[in-house]
Every structure is written in structure tokens, then in C-alpha cells.
Amino acid sequence: MKEVKITACQFRIEKVSSFAEFQNQVEELISQVPSDSDYVIFPELFTVGLLASFPDAEELTAADLIKIDEYTPQYKTFFSNLAKDRQQIIIAGSHLERREDKYYNIAYIFDKDGSFVEHKKTHIFPAEANWQTSEGDSLEVYSIGPAKIGLAVCYEAEIPEVSRILSINGAEIIFCPSFTFTKAGFWRVRHCAQARAIENQVYFVHCPTVGEPGSPLPNGYGRSSILSPCDNPWTPNGIVAESEINTHTIVTGTVDLDELYQNRKTGAATTFLDRTRRENLYTKYEPFKSMY
């Protein structure tokens, strides 16, 4: 068995007056995380409460969320030190960041030595256009920690090609920091996350931002989950672990990587291989010719 322990930190956003106040929120939540968790994940754009720290906060709108880029150096330093201090791999949600003349929704993975890699969200949800967000152009799989991992930030879970590319390139666990404003938005991502786990025979970790911070910040709705394929040896519903809805909390689960590979060979549904077994059929049709 090759077991991996995962903790999702379901972060309830609040308006904060300083980075120190945001830092206290993070530290309070991560203090509940088991010290032997191999991976710790925070949600998408959970730094948005920092918008309230600006002197003109009462006059700002959702379009001004890009101002939180000013906290990027503190954000990186804080999580780099946190990963080193705890000796844990931290997927530090995502943060709006300026690069030259563009803004990106960037997710970071911080390793135990404080180093990090980044993933620019490749498919922007329509509402993100309000934040002048540009799209990234890369989908990478990282050998960080005991598993091969990939990132699919929120709306990317709804794009099947993202997870397929990651899984074909070796991803065993796909981490999904998410921020959905409505129940419908949450269930879109959650149902797609479960589908991606089934069709690619991978583990999928969905971690949403929650809370009702008040205008101009958007509300967050959801519940964190660690998902598997719906097959033996897992639970019939494919839920390894899940949190309560909309609470400031953590959820921890353990998964076995060896079971994924065995399931791909002998499972009731061998979807990972069967999706490529009939490539000759798919490539008869547009636009699949260019995909295979």
C-alpha cells in the first residue's frame, strides 16, 4: 500500500483590516491539521478578504479585487515559511497576481523546503472577466511529495480536457481550489470533480472558499471533499471524506495510490484505458482529430 494523507482547509472568508489578521485566520485553521498530513490545500482566491484592508474599502467594487495583488510578496513569504515550519506540502489556494500588464489567478504549491511552483488558471469563469483576469497556457504534473499531483482550479474542473491531460501525464491526485458563489456553482464543480475522478480513475480533492463577507466581496458556498472513483475498493458514492457545508473547518482523508493502478486494470469500469482504446473511433470526428 502507498497511502497518502490529505487535509482540505475549508476557509470562511471575512473582511480583514490587515495581512496580519488574514494570517491569523490561516494559522488558526491550519493548527487543526494533523501533523502527518502529506498535503494541505486551501481554496481559490481565499485572500479576497484583504480588499477590506484598503483605506478606501467602502468605495471599492468587485472589479477592484485586483488590488489585493499588493499583498503578493507577503502571501508568498508567509506560505513559504509555513510550509517549512510545518514540514508539509501546502497548496495555498490561489491569489490574484499581476504579471507585467496582466492579472492572473495563480495557484501555488509550497514544498517543505519553502520552494514553490505555480499554476495560472487556464480557463477563466465568465464572472472573472470583472477582475481583468487573463488565462494561463500550461498544464503541469508535479512530483512533489509522495504522489504525482496536478491542479485544476475551480472552473477547470468543468473542462474535461484539463483533467484528462493531467491524468495522461501521470497525475494520481488532482487538487481543485474553488470559489463558487451559488449552490448551483458549487454543484457544477462538485459533480464535475466526481466525474473527473471516475473517468480518469484518479483522486480529486475539491476545496471551496465559503462565507458571506458582504459587498463588494462575493459570497462563497460549498463543502470540501476528497473523492475517488465509484468502484471497489472505495465507497459506492466515491466520497473518501467530506466536510460540513459553509463552515470554517478542515476535513482529512487517506487514499491509497496503489489501489488506483489496480483499479485501472481490474475495476468494474476501466475508464482510464478505455478512453484511449477507441482512439480510432474518436478521430473520425471533428474536433477530436486534433486531440489524439
* 121 labelled catalytic: yes
CA angle 55, 60, 64 (to 5 degrees): 105
Spot the catalytic one: 154, 176, 192, 230: 154
Per DSSP, which regions of 79-224 are E strands? 89-99, 102-110, 116-120, 133-134, 142-144, 147-151, 173-178, 203-208
Q: Are 9 and 40 in contact (CB under 8 A)?
A: yes
Q: Are 86 and 26 in contact (CB under 8 A)?
A: no
Spot the catalytic one: 9, 44, 158, 199: 44
CA angle 95, 105, 185 (to 5 degrees): 100
Grid cell 479576497 in the structure block, residue: 48
Backbone torsions φ then ψ of 249, nearest 5 degrees: -160, 175
Query: How many residues would you count in the chain?
Result: 292
Grid cell 482512439 in the structure block, residue: 279
Q: Are 193 and 163 in contact (CB under 8 A)?
A: no
Q: Quick one: cell of 81?
A: 515559511
Spot the catalytic one: 76, 120, 121, 148: 121
Cα radius of gyration rounded to whole Å, the chain: 19
Residue type, 92: A
Residues assigned a catalytic role: 44, 121, 154
